[in-house]
Amino acid sequence: MTVAELVETVKKSGGVLALDGEQIKFQLPPNATHLLDLLREHKQELITILRARGGRVATFPHCPRCASYALYRKNDMGNYECQTCGLQEIAEAIARRNN
């Protein structure tokens, strides 16, 4: 797996990669924790990719029921609520999945 494919795999799983100086902050759903060793192994290449992408790689959160991007969560913490269809308790990893 190339580093670019690794980044896309994290993104498609609902994970988030963010650059913080020379550190990479990440949020991975349970189904992607097996990627941790690869992420550590390719840290420098990941930093280069993250810099080229503005310091963050993530799928924009959307509702899994209606695909709306109109999600809300108080103080930008906790689970989302869809402002379009009313679905509540949408977990971060679910809201950021591509499928």
What is the rounded CA–CA span in Å between residue 80 and residue 57? Answer: 19
Whole-prediction pTM: 0.67
Tokens in use for 88? Answer: 């509540």
Handedness of CA 40, 41, 44, 48 (dihedral sign): negative
In DSSP terms, 18 is beta-bridged to: 25, 56
Report residues of the chain scoring pLDDT below 70: 98-99
State CA 30 to chain mean position distance: 12
Nearest in space to 7 (alpha carbons), one of 51, 70, 73:
51
